[in-house]
Amino acid sequence: MSLNKQNIESPKDRQNRHKAMEAIRVLNNLKEDFKYPIKAMDYFYDLFERVYCKNESLHKNKVKVGVMCIQIPSEIIYALDCVPIRLCNGFYTDDEIGSEFLPQKSCPLIKATIGYFASDNFIDKPDIIFSPTTCDQKTKAGAIISNFGHRVVDVDYPRTKESEASREFWRKSVKNFAITLSKFQSKKLNKKNLKNSISKIGYAQSLYHKLSSFRQSNNISIRGVDVFLITNAFFFDNINNWIKAMEALLKELQNRVDSQIYIANKISPRILYTGSPPIFPNYKIPYLIEQSDAIIVADESCSSNRMFNDMAGVDEWLLDDMLDSISDKYLKACTCPIFTKNEDRIRRIIHLVKKYQADGVVYQAFAGCSVYELEQRSVLEAMEKEGIAILYLESDYSPSQSGQLSTRIEAFIEALKNKKRNKK
């Protein structure tokens, strides 16, 4: 027998190839399944292809600040002339690599994040990482990543938000974070640079709100999966490019509305998405929802709405004042299920359902994401009380599950359609 001289692929090449395959499959689905393509979306499709298929770096000469969760204020990072990179990961390839380091029943998002660091295969490698102590698994993930040899700084985050003490506690944490990064970067945080970055992020948020107003209308002009892609790009994109692309998109959407180009039927149920965050390329659930002739009009999740919904409310443009208002934005307005009681999240969901005239709610929890799993019951009960239809789904990053999920989703949407028809 002769030895087969086939080249063996290195683990990094293999990982890159698998991730590119995952990415391109999702991007092609998004592009090809859509009868009425929006030109301005090409910027976002290309961006994800450049980063995940061509391994293009976006921030070569910048200091990159990795953030483990949504709660690390980007305003401060930009003010210190760094770029934030959110490390939450949606790749199944990385999930499989990471599962070696974690218990079997861990959250796929954490496994994928750990897998990304374990393979030491970076596009834009973070120079320093800040890890807010949010859920148990994120907290431990920071420690594991630090064992891989990265500089990880814990940022103490409270798990209650009602008390004045927790507010003070978090304000102190934010100040410590600002001091640490300022020292790391050898740059001072001042009134001017912080004010500028608050304004810039505020402007980006205002663009998101304009985009949302298109989804409030009776006639929908943008798909939910596209919005997830756009907000997801904010995790890592150059903020100026993102703003430009958004401006172009809003202009095109307005033109389409003027010429009455809409993308959903009147009967298509309007869905509010809530739960574990859809992160590229894990758009399985949103994609299945919209494949089944429903349309996602709003969401309550940390990869989208929760990032943009609330702005820093500044009373006086003094440094301390600005820092306090930034702190409040990331604590008081947060509806993450890590908090002890979380009536805010329920209120937010009900508010969004009414504002966006949603016909039903889809609640996804990643298997192993215990906080979303734990909060399921109280949210379901609250929705029932309000007479809002809700579907609870448990899923992970594996690509093989869609049969069982699509049955549930389609049946839910058929029932919503029936209800809509009968109302007429």
Partner 1 sequence: MKYFAGIDIGSTSIKITIIDEEQNIVGYKISASGSMFYKYAKESLQELLLSLAIDQSNLAYIVSTGYGRKLYKEANENISEITANAIGAKAAAKEYGEIKTIINIGGQDSKAISLDNEGNVVNFAMNDRCAAGTGKFLDVVALKLELDIDDLGKYHFLSTGVPLSVSSTCAVFAESEIIGLLGNNHSVEDIVCGVHYSIAKRVVKLVKRVGIKENIYFDGGPAMNKGLVNAIENELGKKIFIPKYPQITTSYGAAIIGIDSYKYEYDL
Q: Please return the burial class of 422, using the count of CB atoms within 10 Å of its CB with bins 0-12, 13-18 and 19+.
A: exposed
Residue 104 touching partner 1 (CB under 8 A): no
39: its two tokens: 């030109």
Residue 58 touching partner 1 (CB under 8 A): no
What residues are paired with 395 via a beta bridge? 366
Is the Cβ of residue 127 or residue 414 nearer to partner 1 in the bound state? 414
Residue 419 touching partner 1 (CB under 8 A): yes
DSSP letter for 299, please.
E
In the chain, helix, strand, coil percent, each to 5? 55, 10, 35
Minimum CB separation of residue 410 from partner 1 in Å reads 4
Kindly give, in sequence order, each residue whose CB lies less than 8 Å from that of residue 115, ignoring residues fewer than 6 positions away. 89, 91, 93, 94, 95, 96, 97, 98, 99, 101
What residues are paired with 82 via a beta bridge? 63
* Cα 60 from Cα 73, distance rounded (Å): 22
> Applying CB under 8 A, what is the total number of residues that bind partner 1?
15
Minimum CB separation of residue 399 from partner 1 in Å reads 13
Out of 57, 139, 238, 401, the residue judged to bind partner 1 by CB under 8 A: 401
Residue 99 touching partner 1 (CB under 8 A): no
Among the listed ranges 28-36, 221-229, 342-350, 406-414, the one in contact with partner 1 (CB under 8 A) is: 406-414
Minimum CB separation of residue 261 from partner 1 in Å reads 27
Is the Cβ of residue 57 or residue 401 nearer to partner 1 in the bound state? 401
Residue 175 touching partner 1 (CB under 8 A): no
Out of 236, 404, 423, 424, the residue judged to bind partner 1 by CB under 8 A: 404
Minimum CB separation of residue 110 from partner 1 in Å reads 20
| Residue 46 to residues 37, 53, 194, 230, 321, Cα–Cα distance (Å) | 14, 10, 31, 12, 40
Residue 50 touching partner 1 (CB under 8 A): no
Residue 387 touching partner 1 (CB under 8 A): no
Cβ–Cβ under 8 Å, residues 138 and 131: yes
Cβ–Cβ under 8 Å, residues 416 and 387: no
Q: Please return the burial class of 164, using the count of CB atoms within 10 Å of its CB with bins 0-12, 13-18 and 19+.
A: exposed
Among the listed ranges 86-94, 201-209, 238-246, 412-420, the one in contact with partner 1 (CB under 8 A) is: 412-420
Is the Cβ of residue 243 or residue 415 nearer to partner 1 in the bound state? 415
Residue 410 touching partner 1 (CB under 8 A): yes
Minimum CB separation of residue 36 from partner 1 in Å reads 23
The gap from C-alpha 29 to its chain's centroid, in whole angstroms, comes to: 20
Is the Cβ of residue 175 or residue 420 nearer to partner 1 in the bound state? 420
Residue 267 touching partner 1 (CB under 8 A): no
∠ at Cα 114 (109, 120), nearest 5°? Answer: 135
Minimum CB separation of residue 60 from partner 1 in Å reads 43
Length of the chain: 424
Is the Cβ of residue 58 or residue 415 nearer to partner 1 in the bound state? 415
* Cα 203 from Cα 235, distance rounded (Å): 16
Residue 378 touching partner 1 (CB under 8 A): no
Q: What is the binding site for partner 1 (CB under 8 A)?
A: 389, 394, 401, 403-404, 407-408, 410-412, 414-415, 418-419, 422
